[in-house]
Chains A and B, each alone.
Chain A
Amino acid sequence: MSKNNERYALLINYEFCTGCHSCETACKVENNLTHGQWGIKVAQDGPRKLENGKFEFIHVPIPTSLCNLCEDRVNKGKLPSCVQHCQAAVMSFGPVEELAEKISKPQMVIFTPV
């Protein structure tokens, strides 16, 4: 994926990913994916009790090899569908370098599916 020969990516602030499945659904609908196929899949860890008495309960959406970073949408000036519809607004799209600068806190990850 490139507009100006830059690599594009997704940045996820997974501290606040609620596991709502909007990204998965948005992607399935946008890319017309069949039953059993996913362009992005949410992984879950927990709920698990930590020694300090708090709980770990994490979701991270993982783009798969079927993710094309919504090339058609992006070329039209739209955000990737998963990014636009993420209910917790924890996803960003942009050039890898720009996203890397946004890594400002714990529990963030950058994916470069293509």
Chain B
Amino acid sequence: MAYEISEYYQKHKGESQWQDGEYTCTRTTMWTGPGCHNGCGVVYYTKNGKVEKVEGDPYNPFNLGKLCMRCLNYVEAASSPERLKWPLKRVGERGENKWERISWDEAYDLIVKEVRRIQSKYGPESIVAMEGTGRNVIWQVPYLCYAGFGSPNFTLGFLSGESCSMPRLVTEAVIQGDFSFGDYSAHFPDRYDNPTWKVPGVILIWGQNAIISNPDSSLGHWIVECMKRGSKLIVVDPMLTWLAAKADYWLQVRPGTDAALAMAMNDVIIKEDLYDHDFVEKWTVGFDEFAERVATMPAERAAEITWVPKDIIEGAARLFAKADGAATTWGVSVDMAVAGVSAAHAITGLWSITGNLDKPGGQSIIQYAYDLGMAYDYGLEILSEEVKAKRIGNELPLKQTGYGATAHSDTLLKQIENGGNPYPIKMFWFQSTNPIANMGAEAPRIYKAIKSTEFNVVVDLFMTPTAVACADLVLPCAMSSERWSNRNWWMPLAGIRKVAEYEEAKSDEQLILELGKRLNPEMFPWKDDKEWNDWIIKEQGSKAGITYDQLNDMIYSYDHFEYYRYEKGLLRRDGLPGFNTLSGKVELKIGLFESWGLDPLPWYQEPPESPYSTPELFKKYPLILTTGHRSWEFFHSEHRQLKLNREFHPDPLIKINPETAAKYGIKEGDWVWVENYRGRFKQKVKFEELHPLVVNAEHGWWFPEMEGAEPTLFGVFDSNSNNLTTMCQNGPTGYGAPYKNQLCKIYKVTEENSKILPSEQVTKLGGFNYVYK
């Protein structure tokens, strides 16, 4: 069915603002919080400075008028009485959830005083700034950390092994010099009608339920549009998702074994001579060694490791290689294994050896529109080499050489636990991150760490468990409709326009700017958030040749895009043909890894705890626990206070094969305890088509409706799958962690075995101590 644009919106084509009765209508971009990683085009209907309705903008090529349920219910979120309204200072003990209202000036004064004290007593590196999953704070918080605090320690809320995108991104950077996405025509404003675009013959969806998770800058439903136009699917997923049910091949992989599967698929393609000889000869290096290495993982061996039958591995590999255009969409499941980087390497190999890189309907190389890329390294150059070298985890080669600006979370945790060697950590700045609910593996251990410092600030939309547990100061943040900002992730470049205000909440930019002016005025010269954005668009994005106001009037701006740029010398700074790597070619054998003494070819390693690596443990904990998959209603730990979203999804769900459930005397709808030697949590059973030895639990659950003060702490540990995951088990690069491949056992929740709930166990009784019975 065609995309239909109603008469009403046709009448307002080209307008960025208009009046509709008592409403002012504004077309702009939605970006979190709350929401997700994407920037869907919206029309806000405002009255008296409040957003009363939100609709998708049918003229925005990104989402073509559609919205998912989170943005459709934006008004409830933005007007929720539970939102933080003004700065709050702790009055009771940490954890008591007692606060007093203070002014922004008082808040800033307190922060400046504490920052100065810590800087002079311990050094600026003792301050750690963190955020959750990037999004609309992707560049502001790093800038505050570097330019405001003078610390190199900007980090991602205790994300073990940085295993969300980073392993994939760094691997792509060293192999092919740029990032790439499956080609669903996203880089063209005329989308599916663009004459140079071709619908992918096949779409490989690896470790992701794309229609729900809406990966970075890509809407899962673009895949559905391609299916309507004839794309076939190959889906790698332990669970039968809607996409998997529609696939020609569903590879029901054992969690954590993706590297073996991808190696074997490469081997099939090479052995059966289905690879693109021309591309491989002209544009890759290290093919022979790569082929030799993947030959150590023939399909028979991979079938034993991954539990995917040999003929399915072979069939999928053939379909991929023979397709007229093969696009790949991959998810965090690739990252969330010790062998995450290697899995990413082998999957990159699949699209490279089949010549799918940078071709229509294949794998699009993406760059920031107009070279305007603001990310975790924004402002890093301000720091001296000496300070930069103090970054936690700086010894990791990928960090040292500039791949990834973040400090390493696992090393940070160890540094806190070892009593502060080589230097103590004295202050945390949490902006839009809720690590004990969500991001930190081994949540109870993170809980102790965040309580260990002298001064903590939390900036967020709502009072979170992290804030109650450890904050001394809580600051209210503006939502998407309440901020002047811009979105410059890949394409298009888009404006974000302020159409509303909420109490004393401030945008990330405004808050950081006001604080920065007090800490280091020279580096914060802009008058306000609007002027900062204007500077960014004009200076950093000068190629666009527009001002920030113009961008807001245009709503978005697409940079020029074309295919086969490696042939035309459009990818490298030196203007020569080839890829933006040291060799100018796709490095199937990674030269940089070799020079750092890391294995330059893909490898497979069993998850640290698995039926094969720890058979004794498997006897005690006979199920594989995978976690972290998304649901329509929520994004990570967000949206739990919204009544409409909770009506659809009131409880945390653990997905279990009905056969397995029957074996344990469990019915659908029962609550079960999920336990391993690190701890336990409870969720409600939902039947799904999963391997009988695999269970799939939800993440990010806390209960805003429950008591905030400890020991309850919004029940944050009661249903927390991160009671069972683990920090500090990373791959050799420092990237990759086994979030999605742990062992567990399950048993029914009874009154008898629920006298002490995990939240009380952790906050009051000293934690699980790994021996809870």
Q: A25-B73, A25-B644, A29-B73 are in contact. Are A55 and B245 (CB under 8 A)?
A: yes
Measured in the bound complex, the distance between the Cα atoms of B68 and A23 in whole Å is 9
By the criterion CB–CB under 8 Å, are B8 and A78 in contact? yes
Decide if B689 is an interface residue (CB 8 Å cutoff): yes
Using an 8 Å CB-CB cutoff, how does the interface string of B477-489 with A read, 1 for contact, 0 for none? 0000000000000
Q: A25-B644, A47-B689, A84-B6 are in contact. Are A18 and B242 (CB under 8 A)?
A: yes
By the criterion CB–CB under 8 Å, are B1 and A90 in contact? yes
Q: B residues 576-593 with Cβ under 8 Å of A?
A: none
By the criterion CB–CB under 8 Å, are A16 and B647 in contact? no
By the criterion CB–CB under 8 Å, are A85 and B1 in contact? no
Measured in the bound complex, the distance between the Cα atoms of B6 and A79 in whole Å is 6
Using an 8 Å CB-CB cutoff, how does the interface string of A12-53 with B read, 1 for contact, 0 for none? 010010111110111011000001100000000011000000
Q: A87-B66, A88-B221 are in contact. Are A47 and B3 (CB under 8 A)?
A: no
Contact of A78 among B6, B64, B67 (CB under 8 A): B6
Measured in the bound complex, the distance between the Cα atoms of B53 and A79 in whole Å is 15
Chain A residues closer than 8 Å to B65, beta-carbon distance: 84-85
Decide if A106 is an interface residue (CB 8 Å cutoff): no
Q: A16-B228, A18-B221, A46-B245 are in contact. Are A87 and B68 (CB under 8 A)?
A: yes
Which secondary structure characterizes the binding site on chain A? mixed
Instruction: Across the interface, name the chain B residue whose C-beta is closest to A16.
Output: B224
By the criterion CB–CB under 8 Å, are B224 and A18 in contact? yes
Smallest beta-carbon distance B744→chain A, Å: 24
Chain B residues closer than 8 Å to A18, beta-carbon distance: 211, 221, 224, 242
Decide if B4 is an interface residue (CB 8 Å cutoff): yes
By the criterion CB–CB under 8 Å, are B4 and A92 in contact? yes
Chain A residues closer than 8 Å to B56, beta-carbon distance: 84-85
Chain B residues closer than 8 Å to A57, beta-carbon distance: 240, 242, 245-246
Smallest beta-carbon distance A57→chain B, Å: 4
Measured in the bound complex, the distance between the Cα atoms of B56 and A89 in whole Å is 13
By the criterion CB–CB under 8 Å, are B644 and A28 in contact? yes
Using an 8 Å CB-CB cutoff, how does the interface string of B1-27 with A read, 1 for contact, 0 for none? 101101111010000000000000000
Q: A18-B211, A25-B73, A77-B11 are in contact. Are A89 and B66 (CB under 8 A)?
A: yes
Chain A residues closer than 8 Å to B53, beta-carbon distance: 29
Chain A residues closer than 8 Å to B756, beta-carbon distance: none
By the criterion CB–CB under 8 Å, are B7 and A20 in contact? no
By the criterion CB–CB under 8 Å, are A88 and B242 in contact? no
Measured in the bound complex, the distance between the Cα atoms of B643 and A71 in whole Å is 26
Measured in the bound complex, the distance between the Cα atoms of B57 and A85 in whole Å is 10
Measured in the bound complex, the distance between the Cα atoms of B66 and A56 in whole Å is 26
Chain B residues closer than 8 Å to A46, beta-carbon distance: 245
Smallest beta-carbon distance B489→chain A, Å: 20
Q: B residues 133-152 with Cβ under 8 Å of A?
A: none
Chain B residues closer than 8 Å to A24, beta-carbon distance: 69, 648
Using an 8 Å CB-CB cutoff, how does the interface string of B234-266 with A read, 1 for contact, 0 for none? 000000101011100000000000000000000
Listed A/B pairs (7) with beta-carbon separation below 8 Å: A13-B1, A18-B221, A21-B648, A25-B69, A25-B73, A88-B221, A89-B1
The 9 A-B residue pairs whose C-beta atoms are closest, nearest first, are A77-B7, A57-B245, A55-B245, A25-B69, A77-B8, A25-B72, A79-B6, A87-B221, A78-B8
